Amino acid sequence: MTDAPLDSLLDGPRGRRLCLGLLDTSQPLGSLAYYAARSPAELPALVGAVAEASVPLDAASLLDALETAVSTAMYWQPPDETDVLLQHPSLIAALEPIARLVAGALETAWWSTPVAVDDQHRVQWTDVSSRPLPTPTSTSERLARWKAHTLADERRAAERPADVTALYGGEWWSIPAHAELITTTRSLPGLGAAKLRLVEDDFGWTGADVTPLRPLAATRTFEITGPADWVELAGRYPLEVTLSRRHEWWRVTGRDGGWVVPDWQAVASDFDAVHLTVAGYLVSAGRALPVGEAATMLAGWDPDETYWLGDVLESAGASVHWQRDASVDGPWSPR
pLDDT in tens, 169-187: 889 999 998 899 999 999 9
Q: Are 273 and 219 in contact (CB under 8 A)?
A: yes
Question: Are 216 and 313 in a shared domain?
Answer: yes
Instruction: Look over the chain and give the mean of its residue pLDDT values, rounded to a whole number.
Output: 88
Our measurement of the distance from residue 261's CA atom to the centroid of its chain's CA atoms, rounded to an integer in Å, reads 15
Residues of the domain holding 76: 5-112
What's the domain count of the chain?
2
- The answer on 295 and 149 residing in a single domain is yes
Q: Are residues 160 and 270 in the same domain?
A: yes
> What confidence category does residue 203 fall into, taking pLDDT thresholds of 50, 70 and 90?
confident
**Rounded Cα distance, 98 and 248, in Å:** 31
pLDDT in tens, 275-318: 999 999 999 999 999 999 999 999 999 999 999 999 999 999 99
pLDDT digits (tens, 9 = 90+) for 242-255: 999 999 999 999 99
47, 95 Cβ separation under 8 angstroms: yes
Question: Do the beta carbons of residue 72 and residue 24 sit within 8 Å?
Answer: no
Confidence check: pLDDT of 133 > 70? no
The dihedral built from the CA positions of residue 72, 64, 227 and 13, taken in this order, carries a sign that is positive
Q: Same structural domain for residues 259 and 183?
A: yes
Q: In DSSP terms, which residues pair with 238 in a beta bridge?
A: 262
pLDDT higher than threshold 70 for residue 26: no
> What pLDDT was estimated at residue 37?
52
Q: Rounded mean pLDDT of 207-229?
A: 95
pLDDT of 221 > 70? The answer is: yes
- Decide: helix, strand or coil at residue 171: coil
Q: What is the pLDDT of residue 189?
A: 95
Within this chain, do residues 27 and 167 fall inside the same structural domain, yes or no?
Answer: no
User: What would you measure as the largest C-alpha separation in the chain, in angstroms?
Assistant: 58
**Higher local confidence (pLDDT), 97 or 304:** 304
Q: Which DSSP helix (H) or strand (E) runs through 274?
A: strand 273-276
Alpha helices in the chain (DSSP H): 13-26, 32-38, 43-52, 59-71, 81-85, 89-94, 96-104, 139-156, 227-236, 242-253, 264-267, 278-284
**Last residue within a domain, chosen from 112, 144, 167:** 112
Instruction: Examine the fold and report which residue of 64, 79, 112 is the final residue of a domain before the chain moves on.
Output: 112
Looking at residue 167, its pLDDT comes to 87
Q: pTM to 2 decimals?
A: 0.91
Q: Specify whether 100 is located in the same domain as 144.
A: no
| Single residue among 112, 145, 166 that ends a domain in this structure | 112
